[in-house]
Amino acid sequence: MRQIRLRATATAALLSGLILTGCDTPPVESVQRGYRGTGMELIASPDDLAATVANNQVPEPQPPVPAVGPKAADIYQNVQILGDLSVGEFTRLMAAITQWVAPEEGCNYCHVAEGFQLDTKYTKKVARVMIAMTQRANADWGDHVGNVGVTCYTCHRGNNIPEYVWAQDPGQAHAAGIMTASQNIASEAGVYSSLPYDPFTAYLDGAKEDDAALPWRVAGNTALPNGNRSSIKQTEWIYSLMMHFSDSLGVNCTHCHNSRAFYDWEQSSPERVRAWYGIRMVREMNHEYINPTTEWLPEHRKGPLGDALKVNCATCHQGAYQPLLGANMVKDYPNLARYTLAKKAQPMDDADASEADQPAANSAPASASEAF
Ligand code: HEC
Ligand code: HEC
Ligand code: HEC
Ligand code: HEC
C-alpha cells in the first residue's frame, strides 16, 4: 500500500475516478445473441471495439511462389517436417516465420552462421515442434479452428514468445501460512477475482488424464437440492476458468450459456461446443507439444516452477471472440494446414524431439453429441 495522504475531497475525486475507469463510457452497443427475453446479448463499448480492431490487423502475405521444382528434402540436409515443400515454398515459409516470430532478429534467431542445417539453437528445435503443432491444429482440430485456421502469427504477432502465456503459479510468498485454499490472491489467471488463482494447471495442462477428477460439472439441474454433491469450493474452480474464457474472448458468459441454466447444453449457444473442443485442443497443445520442449528451454524461458510457458484461450484469442477477427491467414500458407513430413527423416541432435513431432491420434469425439 502506498502511503499517500489526501484531503477528503481529493480522495473522493480519486475514488470516483478509479471506479469510473472500471466502467465503459456510454453509449454502449448491444447485440442480441439468443431468443428474445433470455438476456443472451453481447455488450461492448465502441471504444473497446475500435481498440480490438486495431490490435487484430494481419500482416501482408509473402508473395506467392509455385509449388514446382525440387523438394526441400532432396536439397537440404536436415529437414524433418517440411520436406514435401518445393524449395521456393520452403524459403517463402522461412521468410514468413521470421516475420511472425523474430522480425527484429531475423534468420539468426534460429540459425547459426556455421550452417542452416544445424540444430544448435534451442529456438530452432522449438520452432520445429511449433510447425508440427500448427499443422496438427489446422489439419485435425477443425471442430475448433473452423475454416479460418491458425498460423504462428495467431499466437506470436511478431513476438518471440506470445504475449499471453501461462505457467504454474506458486502463489504469492507473503500468503504462505495463510489459509488461501488456492484462491483469494489476485492473479491474472483468475481475472483478479477471489476465485482459484491457477485454474490452468488443473484444466489446461493436459497432463491430468482423468477428467472426472476435475470439477467440470457442478450445477444442480433441479429446483431443490437433490443429490448434487458439488461443494462451493469445487464450483469455484470451474468459475475461475470461465472468467478466463470470457476475458480472453472479450465476451459475456451469455456468449456460450443461457444464464438460467448454465449446465444445459440444449439451451447453450453453438459457441459452447466450439469452446468444448477448444479445451481439448489446448490441452493437447500443452501436453503433446509444449511440455516436451521444457528440457531445451533456458531458465529465463521457464515459469517460476520450471515448467514451459503454455497456451490458454488468450494465447490465440487475445480479447477477440474470433482470433484476428476471423481473418484467414492459412489460405496463403496451405503448407501449415497439412502434414509435410520429409520422406527420409534425418537424425536429429536430440532424439527426444521426434516424439513430439509425431502427432497423436485425434482423441476428440467425432460428433458434438458424443461430448456430453
Ligand atoms: C523461428 C525459427 C526459424 C527462423 C527465424 C528461420 N528458420 Fe530456417 N529453419 C527452421 C526450422 C525449424 C528448420 C527445420 C525444418 C524441418 O525440420 O522441416 C529450418 C530449416 C532451414 C533450412 C534448411 C537447412 C538444411 O540444410 O537442413 C534453410 C535453408 C533455412 N531454414 C533458411 C532460413 C532462412 C533463409 C531464414 C530467414 C529468412 C530462416 N531459415 C529463418 C526455423 C527457423
Ligand atoms: C497456439 C499458440 C502458438 C502457435 C500457433 C505457435 N506458437 Fe510458438 N510458442 C508458443 C508458446 C506458448 C511458446 C512458449 C513455449 C515454448 O517455448 O516451448 C512458444 C515459443 C516459441 C519459440 C521459442 C522462442 C523463444 O525465444 O524461447 C519459437 C522459436 C516459436 N514459438 C516459433 C513458432 C513458429 C515458427 C510457429 C509457427 C509454425 C509458432 N511458434 C506457432 C505458442 C504458439
Ligand atoms: C466461450 C464459451 C464460454 C463462456 C464465455 C463461458 N463458458 Fe461456462 N462453460 C463453457 C463450456 C464449454 C463448459 C463445459 C465444460 C465441460 O463440462 O466439459 C462450461 C461450463 C460451465 C459451468 C458448469 C456447468 C455444469 O454442468 O455444471 C458453469 C457453472 C459455467 N460454465 C459458468 C460460466 C460463467 C459464470 C461464465 C461467465 C463468467 C461462463 N461460464 C462463460 C463455455 C463457456
Ligand atoms: C490455436 C489458437 C486458438 C486457441 C488456443 C483457442 N482458440 Fe478458440 N478459436 C480459434 C479459431 C481460429 C477460431 C475460429 C474463428 C472462426 O471460425 O472464424 C476460434 C473460435 C472460437 C469460438 C467461436 C467464436 C465465435 O463466436 O464464432 C469460441 C467460442 C472459442 N474459439 C473459444 C475458445 C476457448 C474457450 C479457448 C480456450 C479453451 C480457445 N477458444 C482457444 C483459435 C483458438
Pick from 155, 300, 336, 340 the residue to mutate for probing ligand 2's pocket: most ligand atoms within 8 Å of its CB.
155
Burial of 290 (0-12, 13-18, 19+ CB in 10 A): buried
Which numbered ligand comes closest to the C-alpha of 107? Answer: 1
Of 190, 165, 163, 201, the closest CA to residue 311 belongs to 165
Nearest 10 degrees: Cα torsion 235, 256, 287, 330: -170
Q: Is 283 in the pocket of ligand 1 (CB under 6 A)?
A: no
Q: Is the pLDDT of residue 152 over 80?
A: yes
CA of 34 to the centre of ligand 2 (A): 37
- Residue type for 141, please? W
Which of 67-76, 154-163, 231-240, 362-371 shows the lowest per-residue confidence on average (mean pLDDT)? 362-371
Residue 309 CA, ligand 2 centroid: distance in Å: 9
Instruction: Please indicate whether residue 85, judged by its CB atom, sits closer than 6 Å to ligand 4.
Output: no
Average pLDDT over residues 251-262: 92
Residue 331 near residue 191 (C-beta atoms within 8 A): no
Residue 174 pLDDT: 55
**Alpha-carbon torsion 211, 213, 216, 219, what sign?**
positive
Name the maximum alpha-carbon separation found in the chain: 77
The number of the ligand nearest the C-alpha atom of 290 reads: 2
Predicted confidence (pLDDT) at residue 322 exceeds the cutoff of 60:
yes
pLDDT surpassing 90 at residue 182: no
pLDDT value of residue 31: 82
Distance CA 240, CA 290 (A): 23
d(CA 39, CA 252): 11
Protein residue whose Cα sits closest to atom 1 of ligand 4? 316
Does the pLDDT of residue 351 top 80, yes or no? Answer: no
Distance 94 CA to ligand 1 centre (A): 6
Residue 1 has which C-alpha cell? 500500500
| pLDDT recorded at residue 209 | 63
- Who has greater pLDDT, 42 or 356? 42
Tell whether the model's pLDDT for residue 210 goes beyond 90: no
Nearest CA to ligand 4 atom 19: 145
Q: Which atom of ligand 2 is nearest to the CA of 123?
A: 29
Instruction: From the CA of 276, give the closest atom in ligand 3.
Output: 12
Mean pLDDT (whole number) for 191-198 = 83
Find all residues with CB under 8 Å of 290, minimum gap 6, and list them. 129, 133, 308, 309, 310, 311
Query: Which residue owns the Cα nearest ligand 2 atom 38?
Result: 131
Whether residue 364 contacts residue 96, with contact meaning beta carbons closer than 8 Å, is answered with no
- Please answer whether residues 84 and 341 qualify as being in contact, where contact means their C-beta atoms are separated by less than 8 angstroms: yes
Q: Residue 55: pLDDT above 60?
A: yes
pLDDT for position 177: 57
Indicate if the pLDDT at residue 295 is higher than 90. yes
102 CB less than 6 Å from ligand 1? yes
- Max mean pLDDT range (52-56, 139-143, 362-366): 139-143
Q: Show Cβ contacts of residue 114 under 8 Å, excluding neighbours closer than 6 positions.
A: 120
**Distance (Å) from CA 280 to ligand 1 centroid:** 30
Tell me the pLDDT of the chain averaged across its residues: 83
Other beta carbons within 10 Å of 171: 17
Least confident of 20-34, 35-49, 233-247: 20-34
Mean pLDDT of 222-227: 81
CA distance 75 to 68: 14
The torsion region of residue 43 among left (phi > 0), alpha (psi -120 to 50) and beta comes to: beta
Q: Which atom of ligand 4 is nearest to the CA of 328?
A: 18
Find the range with the poorest average confidence among 107-116, 155-164, 360-369: 360-369
Distance between CA atoms of 213 and 74, rounded to whole angstroms? 49
Mean pLDDT of 238-265: 93
User: For ligand 4, atom 14, which residue shows the shortest CA distance?
Assistant: 145
Q: Cell numbers 476471423 label which residue? A: 326
Cell readout for 289 is 507439444
Question: What pLDDT is attached to residue 343?
Answer: 58
**CB of 69 closer than 8 Å to CB of 87:** yes
* pLDDT one-digit tens code per residue, 154-171: 999 999 999 999 999 887
- Is residue 63 within 8 Å of 82, Cβ to Cβ? no
Ligand 3 center–CA 145 separation, angstroms: 19
Ligand 1 pocket check for 73: Cβ under 6 Å = no
Cα–ligand 1 centroid distance for 112 (angstroms): 10
Atom of ligand 3 nearest to the CA of 243: 38
Closest CA to 122 of 293, 344, 262, 370: 293
CB environment 174-204: b (16+ within 10 A), e (fewer): eeeeeeeebbbbebebbbebebbbbbbbbbb
Q: Which atom of ligand 1 is nearest to the CA of 78?
A: 27
> What CA–CA distance (Å, rounded) separates 137 from 131?
10
Reply yes or no on whether the pLDDT at 127 is more than 80: yes
Q: Which residues of 116-138 are buried (b: 16+ CB within 10 A; e: fewer)?
A: eeebeebbbbbbbbbbbbbbbbb
What whole-number distance in Å separates Cα of residue 285 and Cα of residue 122? 19
Burial of residue 161 (CB within 10 Å: 0-12, 13-18, 19+) is exposed
CB 317 less than 6 A from any atom of ligand 4: yes
CA pair distance 157, 111, nearest whole angstrom: 20
